[in-house]
Structure 1
Amino acid sequence: MQLVSVHTDVVAVPPPHIGGMYWIFVTLRTDDGIEGVGEVYSATFHPDVMVVAIQDVFDRLLAGEDPHHVEKFFRRAYSSGFTQRPDLTMMGIVSGLEMACWDIIGKAAGKPVYELIGGKVNEKLRSYSYLYPQNASGAHDYNNLELSVECALEYMEQGFTALKFDPAGPYTVMGGHQLSLEDMDRSEAFCRRIREAVGNRCDLLFGTHGQMTVSGAVRLARRLEPYDPLWFEEPIPPGNSEAMGRVADKTTIPVATGERLTTKYEFHDLLRNNGASILQMNLGRVGGILEGKKVAALAETYYAQIAPHLYNGPVGAAASIQLATATPNFLVQESIRRWDGFHAEVLEEPLVWEDGYIIPSDKPGLGITLNREVIEAHSPYKDKRLHLAMWDSPYDFKAQSDTSWKDLSK
């Protein structure tokens, strides 16, 4: 069996762009006609650049190769250009192509991928979602506390047992910084009111997107501790695991992080500095399914857990589901609501979500099939904006009444 071609689709996500501005899907094909799909979680370059880069990596490192040889592919890509170090863009490309290889491997074997990486451990996967509160006009109003409480109650009644929110913005390229007292008051109010509303039926997951200094994160954590969140997510920017460890050492809230990290090397550095007890690798960035499995194994030796990050499309979600199903130290899987809306439309059959849990598919490979008609109707992506973005301006202590910062796609 040999790989003969790659095709890339850059799918424009319709407003309100839940899951990002676009999704990058790759389809590999073998000489005996088996196709496998994967997803690249792109960040730093426009997708026009990524399409060319994906083709380059395929042509140099995968064309004519056996898709079973994922370890060989990873090492060649990791060392490409005499680098041998984590590279965010290269590992994003590797992740998508690698999960497409696993899709082919599973289809050829007639088995779900999870049966090939250790076998099923979890019959169902606990899931959580961000809160997506809507105002009277139908727009998302993330900064509205009353609407967020209503949304939390709605999601709880649907079956969710964990809810995420991040009212401490804005996110600036200049961070980390100290939050204003208004930001901290609002953050504490969100935790207090949502805790009062859901009681002990839901865990609270507090996100910050790496915007604070160590001391600033500790100040906020102490305000949130009385409401016992399950985690304090990415309290400082990625890149300094020792500093993340200093935050974790000064709060009773478990620290979760990892969506912007890649490869086992960066996660090992995080673990050895006691920077987090919950690892949030994104399977479309970390290096693929096998690399994600290695990260999970590292976490297991530190008695840490994994909670795979997912703010992209359903192909990356399908890969995360395969890993989570075969992982004993799995905690919870990020979902985007109940995998409805556009996440369901781009698949022939949507991911299965029931009463707060994802039900792993027993179909071969990743267990999904792309809906080519829908994908072609939303391709190519023509906007100039990246998947997500931050403010270019420094943090403004007097701009907290302006809620437009929450739309990260602008």
Structure 2
Amino acid sequence: MEITAVKAIPLSHDLEEGRSFGGTRGMTGSRETTLVRLEADDGTVGWGEAFASPRAVAALVEDVFADAVIGLSPLAAPSLAERVYTGDIGGYDTGRQAFVQCALTGIEVAMWDLRGKQLGVPIHKLLGGRGIESVVPYASTMYVTEWDQDPAEPMEAAAEEGFTAAKIKIGRGLEDDRHRVETAREILGDDAHIMVDYNGNYTPRQAVKSINNLSSYDLTWVEEPVPPENLSGYREIKNRVDVPLAAGEAHFGRFEFKRLIDEQLVDVIQPNLGQCGGFAEAQFLAKLATTENVLVRPHVWNSGVGTAAALQFAASLPDYPNAPEMAPEPFLFEFDRSENPLRHDILETPLDPTGGSLSVPQKSGLGVTVDETALERYRIG
């Protein structure tokens, strides 16, 4: 099997006027991404996602990556990142940049999708997974909204859908932080896992004060309390709080993740399978992390394709340091609950996180089928 065609498909869905939402460092009025479609000489199609500004990353896929990939066997997927870092693809001075990493991810994941379909097995088995059939989804919700939504509303919706865990947006001040966390805890109950996401909107001193002010709510982890580039800030917070820290959605490439791990700045890394370099890179990061006893929990705010990729990766992760079937906590998997038809409309069978459990697709490759007719509703030029 050889790759004969590479196509980048930029997608966008505009939200209704007045319905922008997001976190403390910005809101969005649309949902956007780029899918990568690879076709092999036998007609098999593989899909990946490059989670970045659609037109820009689509141009990068087709202008820089396509010629390098056409003619390759999908078996070459694990070597693609090395070719980018050394400059064989794109030039040596750009390989660590964010958009290049996103384009690389879309191509590489699509190659793995082809590999799985060629062999008739899901990607998590190709990656050596131990056969996990489901994970515990956590609702990514309680966003900052343009219409000033009551924070209880999205949390009540998550509870009605059967979620037993949630991640919420905070970072607008001590009083608001506490109100939001208290609301989430009251609605989901004492046994629920509650994570908070500051989106990097605080200084280290502000973050420490906020985190300590929330100590009575038993947070599972604190995500991005300071900007991603503020590594000294992570170090300062880590030394002054007793809650696990998480980061990774805004870090690109193995070298940035390696610093987070080597310097023990976080307790959880969160590679995104639309940005991190692909499955082989994600596995490499997982090995670095587990060597230092750092958890790996993918960040997921993607389309249905990127979500499926994250599920396949999650099912491949080791239990270390826990013995098999002896993990003291469930594997928590992020599932966005905001409006995004790119997550469900473009799949023939959408992923279903309701009821407190999310099945890992067991069909070959990514385990999902893209509805190419539906893609045309969201495709942009």
Provide, for residues 148-167 of structure 1, a one-character-per-residue CA deviation record: whole Å limited to 9, x for no partner.
Answer: 22432331232212112113
Q: Distance in 1 between matches of 2:340 and 2:359?
A: 14
1:339–1:354 distance in 2 versus 1, CA, 3 Å: farther
1:259–1:154 distance in 2 versus 1, CA, 3 Å: same
SS at match of 2:151: helix
- Kindly report structure 1 stretches of 4+ aligned residues shifted beyond 3 Å: 16-20, 140-144, 338-342
1:95–1:343 distance in 2 versus 1, CA, 3 Å: same
Q: Distance in 1 between matches of 2:338 and 2:380?
A: 26
1:114 to 99, 109, 124: 124
- How many angstroms does 1:12 deviate by? 1.4
Q: Give the corresponding residue for 1:261.
A: 251
Letter paired with 2:110: A
Q: Distance in 2 between matches of 1:340 and 1:258?
A: 22
SS at match of 1:130: strand
Where do residues 358-377 of structure 1 align in structure 2 (5 Å cutoff)? 358-377=358-377
- How many angstroms does 1:324 deviate by? 0.4
Tell me if 1:305 matches 2:295: yes
Q: Which structure has more strand as a fraction of its residues?
A: 2
- How many angstroms does 1:213 deviate by? 1.6
2:76 to 69, 87, 92: 69
> Residue 305 of structure 1 contacts residue 331 of structure 1 at CA under 8 Å; is this kept in 2?
no
Where do residues 256-405 of structure 1 align in structure 2 (5 Å cutoff)? 256-329=246-319, 331-337=331-337, 341-380=341-380
1:371–1:215 distance in 2 versus 1, CA, 3 Å: same
Tell me if 1:56 matches 2:63: yes
1:167 to 170, 193, 196: 170
Letter paired with 1:274: Q
Q: Distance in 2 between matches of 1:371 and 1:264?
A: 33
Q: Distance in 2 between matches of 1:26 and 1:17?
A: 27
Letter paired with 1:4: T
Q: Distance in 1 between matches of 2:101 and 2:342?
A: 26
Q: Give the corresponding residue for 1:87.
A: 97
Q: Give the corresponding residue for 2:115.
A: 105
> Residue 298 of structure 2 contacts residue 310 of structure 2 at CA under 8 Å; is this kept in 1?
yes
SS at match of 1:281: coil
Q: Distance in 1 between matches of 2:376 and 2:317?
A: 35
Letter paired with 1:353: P
Q: Distance in 1 between matches of 2:356 and 2:296?
A: 18
1:124–1:273 distance in 2 versus 1, CA, 3 Å: same
SS at match of 1:115: helix
**Structure 1: gaps spanning 5 or more residues:** 135-139, 170-182, 382-410
Q: Distance in 1 between matches of 2:59 and 2:340?
A: 31
Letter paired with 1:99: V
Aligned-residue CA RMSD (Å): 2.3
Q: Distance in 2 between matches of 1:193 and 1:34?
A: 48
Q: Distance in 2 between matches of 1:142 and 1:164?
A: 20
Letter paired with 1:365: G
> Residue 264 of structure 1 contacts residue 295 of structure 1 at CA under 8 Å; is this kept in 2?
yes
Aligned pair count reads 358
Q: Give the corresponding residue for 2:325.
A: none
- How many angstroms does 1:340 deviate by? 8.2
Provide, for residues 64-83 of structure 1, a one-character-per-residue CA deviation record: whole Å limited to 9, x for no partner.
Answer: 11121113221111222123
Letter paired with 1:101: M
SS at match of 2:59: helix
Provide, for residues 41-76 of structure 1, a one-character-per-residue CA deviation record: whole Å limited to 9, x for no partner.
Answer: 11xxx4322222111233342121112111322111
Letter paired with 1:53: L
**Structure 2: gaps spanning 5 or more residues:** 22-27, 320-329
In terms of mean alpha carbon deviation, does 197-206 or 14-23 score higher?
14-23
SS at match of 2:214: helix
Q: Give the corresponding residue for 2:231.
A: 241
Q: Distance in 1 between matches of 2:239 and 2:147?
A: 30
TM-score (norm 1): 0.81
- How many angstroms does 1:341 deviate by? 4.9
- How many angstroms does 1:282 deviate by? 0.6
Q: Distance in 1 between matches of 2:284 and 2:147?
A: 35
SS at match of 1:68: helix
Tell me if 1:155 matches 2:165: no
> Residue 113 of structure 2 contacts residue 366 of structure 2 at CA under 8 Å; is this kept in 1?
yes
1:317–1:339 distance in 2 versus 1, CA, 3 Å: farther
Provide, for residues 73-102 of structure 1, a one-character-per-residue CA deviation record: whole Å limited to 9, x for no partner.
Answer: 211112221238622111100000000000
Q: Distance in 2 between matches of 1:284 and 1:339?
A: 19
Q: Distance in 2 between matches of 1:372 and 1:59?
A: 20
Q: Distance in 1 between matches of 2:66 and 2:156?
A: 50
Q: Distance in 2 between matches of 1:354 and 1:338?
A: 14
Letter paired with 2:60: A
- How many angstroms does 1:201 deviate by? 3.2
- How many angstroms does 1:338 deviate by? 9.6
TM-score (norm 2): 0.87
Q: Distance in 2 between matches of 1:203 and 1:193?
A: 13
Q: Distance in 2 between matches of 1:339 and 1:280?
A: 22
Q: Distance in 2 between matches of 1:98 and 1:83?
A: 20
Letter paired with 1:66: S
Q: Distance in 1 between matches of 2:364 and 2:315?
A: 14
> Residue 165 of structure 2 contacts residue 188 of structure 2 at CA under 8 Å; is this kept in 1?
no
Provide, for residues 131-162 of structure 1, a one-character-per-residue CA deviation record: whole Å limited to 9, x for no partner.
Answer: 2589xxxxx56854xx3224323312322121
